[in-house]
Structure 1
Amino acid sequence: MGYFFARPTDAITSGWRAATEAYGAMLRGAVYDPQGSTTVRQFRPITETLTVATPLIAAGLGVAVAFRVGLFNIGAQGQLIIGVVLAGLVGFRLHLPPGIHLVVAVLAALVGGALWGGLVGLLRARTGAPEVITTIMLNYVALYLLAYLLTTSTFQRAGASNPISPPVDDSAAFPLLLGDSFRLHLGFLVVLVAAAVVWWLVERSTLGFRWRAVGANPAAARTAGMSVPAAYVGVMVAAGALAGLAGAAQLLGTEKSLTGGIAGSIGPDAITVALLGRSRPFGVVLAGLLFGALRAGGVLMQAQTGTPIDIVLVVQSVIVLLIAAPPLVRAIFRLETKRRRGAGTDAAAPTAERQGAAA
């Protein structure tokens, strides 16, 4: 402390240098590396960012769609795993012509995720079971089901002692977009198309209007003749299918083989992506790209500056806290109650703040 107060500029300079070097390395590892010895190495970072972001965007779309109907879907991890299982089964056990094989494998992933998500919606619609509890439980069911399947002859790779499946056929894999030097695959473009479809479905279609009405006020939607249970089931089927698409991108585009940790932390990260994207498809795409950049750039940051890659998790956690801070502050200081009381005393003169709150 004596040294700090004697020469505080030393601490400030050292801290600034550490931060700029760390985040500079992260930027080079996520976007463009001018220090790369070849053109491939210089442009590989941006392709890695897009590759890592692909399953995050798809799973984040699944979580965001459920948010719009008032359902807190934290089961993207389980839905992704079931989608991966079915996609892998089709990918390495069926031998179909190129093109057809990929389509069938992707459809299998969509069906697997949709069934796992639809089960949650059905439980909520029929019994009122909280989706938070059922999705957590089904996440563990899917995780341990995958661990068991990798010990069976159907999924275990011949001659392997560790739990790993055979690789999917080349005909079932997403083609690489930029050649063998980069991992970026066609799944990225498929996910972007899925984001556009989700935007149209939620924002422009009649079905999406019903979902948003149920999310805004289930009682009013029911009074207007809308089926709230059907909305719950339908949106969870769609959310599960999107999570299954994330699994297809992870298996058929990047990993190529099933392992116990193939899902990684995509499911939990998808929740943060959906929150940061404000449950809007375009926002989810941008948030997924941000998180992909953090993960892709964190590797080079750790290698060159010694900064632990765990700082990426710290940044993600800070993002979640900043997103949660406004409603938390309003709840602690009862700002909503005060604002409503103020609105009651001066209802004839709506302010811009009240209009924004109503919107």
Structure 2
Amino acid sequence: MSKRFTNIIIPIVAVLLGLIAGTIIMLASGYDPIAGFSALFYGMFGEVFYAGETIRQVTPYILSGLAVAFAFRTGLFNIGVEGQVLVGWLAAVWVGLAFDLPKIIHLPLAILAAAAAGAVWGFIPGFLKARFRVHEVIVSIMMNYIALHIANNIIRTVLSDNGDRTPDVPSSALLKSPLLEEMTDFSRLHWGILIALFGAFLMWFILEKTVKGYELRSVGFNHHASDYAGMNVNRNIIMAMVISGAFAGVAGSMEGLGTFGYASVKGGFTGIGFDGIAVALLGGNTSVGIILSAILFGGLKVGALNMPLETGIPPELVDIVIALIIFFIASSYIIRWALTRINKKGAK
């Protein structure tokens, strides 16, 4: 069994094990798993409205997954994606409200502002890692809380009159489309999915087809060897975190300019950044894998809303299934060992 095939089969096995474990939990709780999963899958794609909502949910997941994966492919663990999403969301809405421009200028400017805000938020842990060898996980976690409270304060004091949300972003800076709304029975689907897919292509192109991508991956594999080869390790560490943060910032703009069309005071994190970690893990930190993984996680999140309506099964059960899938992905060594044993027995 080739290594490439094994890397593909492990996420599939992890998903199947998660679903099997979810089935056992449903049975133990007195629920019908067939009815439960039927309601779940119907809530994903059973109607045009559900399909639109699923694609809408998939959009920020792709971009946050790319943010996590890009850093991971370069030897870094950006756990601050959540904070970068928040500042990107805020920056996109701020630019959307501050300018009166034609849509062809206004919308790209708002998205670029979100990317820049996320990049700045990623620069800080990247710089501290490169200059002082401060672990990026610790810094990026703390940056999440700073982003949350700064964003809330700016919304209250700058972008509104002590309110809990900003005014609605004008249509010139929105990703929403009346055509998509009508096609999907007035779901919140927007054009952001095209940006997310372009982001996946961009990550693949940077890492696989450019000299700078080769340097970034080399630094991730071995700092000392890369330094010996003449690469600027510190600069590449910072650049990796900046690009990762930019992806996360754009993910935030998908919510501010697409799903909601405003920014509001939040009592906690959105979860998009943390879910991006799971998306990247299941997707094997590859562009295609992240797209497929985001479809699964987005579908599960949206489909779970239909389960209590049709079967009475609490949506928290889907969160358990997602957690189990992540657990099995994290335990991929065991799955890899089992597949190797099976392969050896088959060879005999």
Pick one of 145, 154, 159 that aligns with 1:155. 159
Aligned to 2:290: 284
Which has the bigger relative contact order, CA under 8 A and spacing at least 6?
2
SS in 2 for 1:150: helix
Aligned to 1:31: 45
The 1-side partners of 2:280 and 2:306 are apart by: 26
Q: Deviations over 1:41-77 (max 9, x none)?
A: x211111111001001101101000000110100001
Q: Report the residue type matching 1:130 in the other structure.
A: H
Counterpart code for 1:29: G
Residue 56 of structure 1 aligns to a residue in which SS?
helix
Flag structure 1 segments of 5+ consecutive residues without an equivalent: 1-11, 33-41, 336-351, 354-359
Once residues 14 and 137 of structure 1 are traced to their aligned partners in structure 2, the CA distance between those partners, rounded to angstroms, is: 39
Q: Percent identity?
A: 37
Are 1:272 and 2:278 counterparts?
A: yes
Deviation at 1:86, TM superposition (A): 1.1
**Whose Rg is larger?**
1
Match of 2:309 among 295, 303, 308: 303
Give the alignment of 1:7-86 within 5 angstroms: 18-32=32-46, 42-86=47-91
Structure 1 residues 147 and 328: CA distance shift in structure 2, 3 A: farther
1:117-132 equivalences in 2 (<5 Å): 117-132=122-137
Which residue in 2 is equivalent to 1:165? 166
Structure-2 separation of matches of 1:107 and 1:17: 47
The 3 A distance-change label for structure 1 pair 14 and 66 is: closer
Post-superposition offset of 1:170: 0.7
Q: Deviations over 1:78-100 (max 9, x none)?
A: 11111111111111122112221
- Give the TM-score taking structure 1 as reference length: 0.82
One-letter identity of the residue aligned with 1:235: A
Q: Unaligned stretches of 5+ in structure 2?
A: 1-25, 338-342
SS at match of 1:185: coil
8 Å CA contact 1:58–1:245 kept in 2: the answer is: yes
Secondary structure of 1:59's partner? Answer: helix
Greater shift in the superposed pair: 221-230 or 259-268: 259-268
Q: Flag the 1:134–1:328 CA change in 2: closer, same or farther, 3 A.
A: farther
Verify: 1:251 aligned to 2:256, yes or no.
yes
Q: CA deviation at 1:218?
A: 1.4
Distance 1:13 1:325, change over 3 A: closer
2: distance between equivalents of 1:106 and 1:328? 42
Q: Which residue of 2 aligns with 1:208?
A: 213
Report whether the alignment pairs 1:179 with 2:181.
yes
CA distance in 2, matches of 1:120, 1:106: 22
Partner of 2:7: none
Amino acid at match of 1:103: P
Q: How many residues align?
A: 310
User: 1:26·1:298 contact (CA, 8 Å) conserved in 2?
Assistant: yes
TM-score, normalising length from structure 2?
Answer: 0.84
Letter in 2 for 1:77: E
- Shift in alpha-carbon separation, 1:15–1:310, aligned structure 2, 3 A: closer
Partner of 1:7: none
Quote the offset at 1:150 in angstroms: 2.1
Q: How far apart are 1:329 and its partner, in Å?
A: 8.9
RMSD: 2.3
